[in-house]
Each structure stands twice: as structure tokens, then as C-alpha cells.
Amino acid sequence: MRAFLDTNVLLDHVIERKNLQFCLNADAILQAGKNGTVDLYMSVLSIPTIAYVIKNVTVDVKKAKICNLASVVKVLPSLPEHVNEMFESPLSDIEDALQLLSAKSGNCDVIVTRDVEDFALSDIPAISPEDFLSRILE
């Protein structure tokens, strides 16, 4: 299975959320990628967002966290043509539309996100981290 991870799931792994379950789910998903149970993908657009959110750490720590993430999650490009395609997207949120286009470019089977409703009009099914984990652990 080729699973695209939305930025919120990646952030759940990188930062300590107040909701510990978010972190545990993200960690379990990354572990499934490490052990080869699934192929994990993310958009290159997630990287500057992650770097911005963890702005209170040193550059070396930021780079280490992002490098660690990219060692497990394959990075998909955001292509110039995605800008024009984004305008035609059924998704109203620009960032979500660009994430969807990256997922399509990687031939992903699912989008794993905590904002499933934001991808309701996506032609790639969006599922929650909990649902994703229950599927791959069956």
C-alpha cells in the first residue's frame, strides 16, 4: 500500500502534541513504514511547514528531525503544473489541493490525515490515522 501522509500526521510525529494519542498513532505509522509494511509518502511542501512549526529549536535539530522523517517517508515533488491544476481542484483549501496533487503524482492509494472531511471530494480516499492503523494491522 502506498500511503500519503498529510502534514498534520507528520507534525504529530515530530512535535509533542497535547493529545498523546495523535503522537502514538503517527509513531506507529512511521514504524510500519520503517519495517516495510507500507510505503509512506509526503509532499515536499510539508517540509517548510514542519520547519516553521518547530522554529524554537536549533537549525541542526530541525535538519535532524526532517532528515529522520525523510529516511522513512519518501518525498514527492510539487510540480509547476500543480499550480494550475490546484485552481481546478474540487478541494477548496489550497494547501490540501496541493497535497492531493502530490499524492496523485506518487500514485498513492490513500491519504492519511486527521482532517478527513477536508478531503471529502478527493478522488484518493482519505482516512484517519486510527483507521489506517487498523487496516494495516489486520
- In angstroms, the CA 11 to CA 51 distance is 10
pLDDT confidence tier of residue 137, bands split at 50, 70 and 90: confident
- In angstroms, the CA 79 to CA 102 distance is 8
pLDDT of residue 81: 85
pLDDT of residue 105: 93
Domain 2-136: give its CATH architecture: 3-Layer(aba) Sandwich (3.40)
Q: How many CB atoms lie within 10 A of CB 23?
A: 17
* Tens-digit pLDDT profile for residues 18-54: 888 999 999 999 999 999 999 999 999 999 999 999 9
Say yes or no to pLDDT of 16 above 80: no
* Tens-digit pLDDT profile for residues 62-115: 999 999 999 999 999 887 888 888 888 889 889 899 999 999 999 999 999 999
Q: Which residues contact 71 (CB under 8 A, 6 or more apart)?
A: none
pLDDT of residue 84: 83
pLDDT of residue 79: 79
pLDDT of residue 77: 87
- pLDDT top residue among 74 and 56: 74
This prediction's pTM: 0.93
pLDDT of residue 122: 93
Query: Do residues 25 and 133 lie in contact, with contact meaning Cβ atoms separated by under 8 Å?
Result: yes
